[in-house]
Amino acid sequence: MKEVSLIALQGAISLGESIQCALKKEQILSNLVVPIETRFGNGEGKVILKEDVHNKDVFILCDIGNYDCTYNLYGELNHMSPDDHYMNLKRTISAMRGNAKKIHVIMPLLYASRQHKRKENESLDCAMALQELRNLGVNRIITIDAHDPGVQNAIPCMSFENYYPTKIMLEELLQNHDFNLSELLVISPDTGAMDRARYYADLLKCDVGMFYKRRDLSKVVNGKNPIVAHEYLGKDVKEKSVLVVDDMIASGESMLEVAKELKTKGCKEVYLIATFGLFTKGIEVFDKAYQDGIFDRLYITNLTYMRKNIDLPWLHIVDCGDFLKNIIMELI
């Protein structure tokens, strides 16, 4: 019987429990281990691993997007950042002392994936992080819907697996909504998401369109050139049902602006689909947009932290525990 050791870091425990439940149904021996993550009074961290991982296949689950995890820093409550989660991942690997047979890191939301390329004198965070994990003895990185899969070129001799939850998300979407596929369009909110939109359209056998973000290149706001307008390229959307797909929703301003443009153009229904819902400016922005009739429903996954006890008529969270279980089963 196959056996794995599943380690869930603080912030990924709920997702780890979902995977553990799915593994048990497949009669795979696995134990869910939660390392002890502690802090000294000045904020320095330490990880204690009580489980013996000698000669075991280890899968470490890390959610760098869980801002609900906290610790005390000089007596003040501090929320964990992606940097904090990443450091605890490295500490966990260090605590194994090289005893594991193989180390697989499951990081659905890839650390520093939004800083994946360099412009002028900028840091190259994602590439540096991948090389650090390789040097620590990690055998495989498993991520979901990487912002730029090309970042794997930083570790050309190491296994980097990038999976997409497209199928499971479409299954739940089609279970909940009866679409006339001849009247359905898949829209990319920008040029970067066009390949994803085309893939959705190919699976659904429907047409595809795209918005182009026209930016003011003379200004920089919050590290980016501000968007002047969203220009639409594609088939007429009047009286059509539309799926707007992307890898992540950060503040959501761009996605909502696209949805608003589509409704202005006479679109009948707008469904938003994103693998990761970060909601960096709060979920209330989307709640108001829904009340204003800008979109009809939003589909995201539970692959990164979502605020607890959320029960909103417009939000559907797709459980990906079984999806990750299938990935683990492929690799053991």
Domain ranges of the chain: 3-164+321-331, 166-302
CB-based burial label for 193 (10 Å; 0-12, 13-18, 19+): buried
Q: What pLDDT is stored for residue 1 in this prediction?
A: 59
* Side-chain-facing half-sphere of 321: CA atoms under 13 Å: 19
Q: Give phi and psi for 262, each to the nearest 5.
A: -65, -40
Residues in the chain, pLDDT under 70? 1, 223-224
Q: What pLDDT is stored for residue 67 in this prediction?
A: 94
- Using DSSP's 3-state secondary structure scheme, residue 17 falls into helix
- Strand partners of residue 57: 102
**DSSP secondary structure letters along 136-170:** TT--EEEEES-S-GGGGGGSTTSEEEEE--HHHHH
- CATH class of this structure's domain 3-164+321-331: alpha beta
Count, residues in the chain: 332
In sequence order, the 6+-apart residues with CB closer than 8 A to the CB of 64 are 11, 82, 85, 86, 107, 109, 111
H/E stretch holding 332 reads: none
CB-based burial label for 1 (10 Å; 0-12, 13-18, 19+): exposed
Q: What pLDDT is stored for residue 245 in this prediction?
A: 96
- Strand partners of residue 229: 214
| Tens digits of residue pLDDT in 118-144 | 777 889 999 999 999 999 999 999 999
Angle subtended by helix axes 82-95 and 125-135, to nearest 10: 10
Q: What pLDDT is stored for residue 276 in this prediction?
A: 96
Same fold flag, 3-164+321-331 and 166-302:
yes
Q: What pLDDT is stored for residue 117 in this prediction?
A: 79
In this structure, what token pair is assigned to residue 22? 């799915």
CATH of the domain spanning 166-302: 3.40.50.2020
Full-model pTM: 0.91
Q: Give phi and psi for 79, each to the nearest 5.
A: -85, 140
